[in-house]
A = this chain, B = another copy of it.
């Protein structure tokens, strides 16, 4: 088939990067289905096995050889179906060889489109790859696709992946709080749920959606944005137990003291001299026990929260698919070094559209929870925060079930025949 308007037909390469989410595969489905539909312009659709490592080692997967049912099933499958990697390319100055190797592999496989699905770091990488391609005389269309449960990318109203973890945390907080409230008279009085968010408190903030009225749990949210003060915290816990009979706390793993030290890195050691086990959840619970003597329980959701496709937000799934699709459309429309964004047009009713932003404006920046989204005492979320968050957890998008369990798909992962003689060690 001749390419439209005489543009050369090129292959596409898609890679997942960094921590995976409940909906990153929905973005993959958006990329692959849209690319396959544009077969006059895009030839084969490849994916990196284990992300960018697959490109460096020339370990490519032929996504076009997956069944249509599998690709469709990616929309409801959590984790990174093609494999993701915590692998940050070094700076151009320090390791130009890695960038040049990428271009070498892309050239060998006639790849003209690079779709990189990740967070801040990955947007930076995509930008640099685009620049190196240019300088090596191998022009490449590089599009970033936003993905992070942390919701900390700038210039997009929200990040695909966040809405689902937010829904998980809000639902779980509401449920656990009902449990605690039932039994507080004779049993647990303080419950602590530790959630992700090393630098930004968006996920912790989502716990606040569990409550509807003043006094509803969670009674305390600990944000990375608010320096932790032990005395104020303990006084608030005591007050809650006195007022409500119990206290539910959502704590971000990134909660830190005023000097910037994570609570979880307080440096305490156990009897064997090991750094203290456990995160900030058990630490805070222990603090409450020691100071106030209340019976406590704590939970650490860890990967459960970001893998919980069974309770994904429908809006999040739609947006994750939409940014994948938009990435291909932006590429075909001649854009380069950009990232599709979510643009909010209104909150009530919630309306959104796809926009785009140059990668250079996104790379390595972080968006924290603004102060006006946090109540004056630092322990809760405000009305504007609620208005921002609520639409992002709206709607359910249940996966299909078989024998009581979600039917998640697995790719065949057919490898693309290698064309380069030189291996590459990562």
Which residues of chain A have a CB within 8 Å of any CB of chain B? 16, 19-20, 22, 50, 53, 77-81, 83-87, 167, 170-172, 174-176, 178-183, 185-188, 191, 193, 209-210, 268-272, 274, 276-278, 281-283, 285-286, 290, 297-304, 306-311, 313, 390, 393-396, 398, 401, 403-406, 408
Contact = CB atoms under 8 A, between A and B. Distances in A.
A77 B175 CA distance: 9
Contact of A298 (B77, B193, B269, B302): B302
A182 B79 contact: yes
Q: How many identical chains are in the complex?
A: 2
Contacts of A298: 300, 302
Nearest 8 interchain pairs by C-beta: A79-B178, A80-B182, A393-B404, A299-B302, A175-B307, A278-B278, A277-B282, A179-B307
Contacts of A285: 277
A282 B278 contact: yes
A310 B268 contact: no
A51 to B, nearest CB: 8
Given A20-B183, A299-B303, A398 B401 contact: no
12 contacts: A78-B179, A79-B181, A80-B183, A83-B183, A84-B182, A167-B404, A171-B406, A172-B308, A175-B308, A277-B283, A390-B403, A393-B404
B277 A286 contact: yes
Contacts of A19: 183
Nearest to A16: B182
Nearest to A393: B404
Contacts of A268: 270-272
B85 A183 contact: yes
A210 to B, nearest CB: 7
B272 A270 contact: no
Contacts of A175: 22, 78-79, 303-304, 307-310, 406, 408
Nearest to A300: B300
A404 B209 contact: yes
A78 B178 CA distance: 7
A171 B307 CA distance: 10
Contacts of A271: 268-270, 276
B310 A290 contact: no
Most buried by B among A53, A178, A269, A406: A178
